[in-house]
C-alpha cells in the first residue's frame, strides 16, 4: 500500500518533469515511430527475396519485431531511466540520497521514474503483435495467451535482472558504459527469431545472454509452438535470475564508495 503510494508520487513527478520540456517530448515520440518503421522496412526487404526467415514466415517475424519494440519500450521507459541511471548516480555520488532513505534501495533505484513517451513503443509493439496475428488468421487459445503472458512476465524479469547485475558492477568499476553497450549489441540480436542463428551463437543468445527469452519465446508461445515444459523452465529461470540479481546487488552495495563531496 505504502509502496503503491510511493509509485504514484514518483510517476506523477516524472511526468511533470517531462512536461517541462515539450519539444523534447514531441521529438522523442517521433523517434520511436521512426525506429519502428525502420525495423519493419528491414524485415520487409528481406521477405521480398525469401519466403521464410529460419522457419518463420513474414507475419511471424513481424510478431517478433512487435515484441522487440514492446521490450524496447519497457526498457527505455522503465529500466534505463531507473536502474540505468544508477550508474550515473554512483559516479556523481547522488546515490547517497537513495541509500539514506528508509525505503528499500532497490525499490527506489528500480522504480523511481518513468519515461512516458517511451510507452509509445509499448503500445505500438502491441499493435504490431495484434496486426501480425490478424495476418496469420490465428486466434490464440486461452492456454496460449496464458503461456504468452507468463513468458512476457519472465522476459521482463530476466531483462531487469541483467540490468541490475550490470549496474551492480558499477559499485566497483564506476564507469561501465561499455558493459551496457555490449548488452545493447546482444539485445539487438533479439530483433529476429533466435532460431535463425546457428550453433554457438544460438546457445549464447539462449543461455548466456538470454535474448531468446525476450522475443522468440513469447512469440512462440502465442503461436502455439512452445510446450508447457519450456514455459515452466523459462518461468523458473526468470525467478532464479531475479533472486540471483537481488543477492548480487545487495552484495555489491557493500562496496559502494560514494564519490567524494
> Which residues bind to other proteins, rule: CB under 8 A?
2, 5-6, 9-10, 13, 16-17, 20-21, 92-94, 96-97, 99-103, 105, 254-258, 260-261
- Shortest distance, position 243 Cβ to other proteins, whole Å: 20
Any idea how long the chain is?
A: 261
Which of 150, 136, 117 lies closest to 35 in space, CA to CA?
117
Closest distance between other proteins and the C-beta of residue 179, in Å? 17
Q: Find the shortest distance in angstroms from Cβ 261 to other proteins.
A: 5
| Alpha carbons 187 and 10: distance in angstroms, whole number | 28
**Which of 13, 141 has the CB closer to other proteins?**
13
User: What 3-state class would DSSP assign to 56?
Assistant: strand
Q: Which three cell numbers stand for residue 128?
A: 504490431
Percent helix / strand / coil, the chain, rounded to 5: 80, 0, 20
We find the least distance from the C-beta atom of residue 117 to other proteins, in angstroms, to be 15
Nearer to other proteins, 101 or 247 (CB): 101
φ/ψ (deg, to 5) at 114 = -145, 135
Please identify, using beta-carbon distances, which residue of 158 and 170 lies nearer to other proteins.
Answer: 170
Contact present, 36 and 43 (Cβ < 8 Å): no
H or E segment and range at residue 31: helix 22-49
Would you state the cell numbers that stand for residue 96, as one nine-digit string? 547517497
Question: Which residue number, 82 or 220, has a Cβ lying nearer to other proteins?
Answer: 82
Q: Residue 210 and residue 158: Cα distance in Å, rounded? A: 8
C-beta closer to other proteins: residue 139 or 261 = 261
**Helices 228-253 and 142-168: angle between axes, nearest 10 degrees:** 20
Give 7 or 40: the residue with its C-beta nearer to other proteins: 7
Amino acid at each position: 500500500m505504502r509502496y503503491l503510494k510511493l509509485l504514484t508520487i514518483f510517476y506523477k513527478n516524472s511526468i511533470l518533469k517531462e512536461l517541462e520540456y515539450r519539444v523534447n517530448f514531441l521529438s522523442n515520440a517521433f523517434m520511436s515511430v521512426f525506429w519502428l518503421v525502420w525495423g519493419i522496412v528491414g524485415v520487409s526487404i528481406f521477405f521480398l527475396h525469401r519466403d521464410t526467415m529460419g522457419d518463420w514466415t513474414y507475419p511471424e517475424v513481424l510478431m517478433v519485431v512487435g515484441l522487440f519494440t514492446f521490450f524496447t519500450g519497457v526498457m527505455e521507459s522503465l529500466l534505463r531511466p531507473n536502474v540505468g541511471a544508477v550508474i550515473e548516480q554512483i559516479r556523481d555520488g547522488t546515490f547517497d540520497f537513495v541509500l539514506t532513505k528508509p525505503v528499500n534501495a532497490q525499490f527506489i533505484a528500480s522504480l523511481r521514474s518513468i519515461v512516458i513517451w517511451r510507452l509509445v513503443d509499448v503500445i505500438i509493439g502491441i499493435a504490431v503483435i495484434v496486426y501480425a496475428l490478424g495476418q496469420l488468421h490465428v486466434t490464440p487459445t486461452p492456454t496460449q495467451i496464458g503461456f504468452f503472458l507468463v513468458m512476457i512476465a519472465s522476459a521482463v524479469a530476466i531483462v531487469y535482472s541483467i540490468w541490475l547485475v550490470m549496474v551492480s558492477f558499477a559499485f566497483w568499476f564506476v564507469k561501465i558504459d561499455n558493459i551496457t553497450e555490449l548488452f545493447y549489441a546482444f539485445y539487438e540480436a533479439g530483433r529476429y527469431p533466435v532460431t535463425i542463428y546457428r550453433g554457438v551463437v544460438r546457445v549464447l543468445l539462449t543461455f548466456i545472454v538470454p535474448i531468446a527469452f525476450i522475443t522468440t519465446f513469447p512469440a512462440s508461445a502465442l503461436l502455439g509452438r512452445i510446450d508447457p515444459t519450456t514455459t515452466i523452465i523459462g518461468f523458473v529461470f526468470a525467478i532464479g535470475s531475479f533472486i540471483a540479481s537481488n543477492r548480487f546487488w545487495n552484495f555489491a552495495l557493500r562496496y559502494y564508495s560514494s564519490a567524494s563531496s
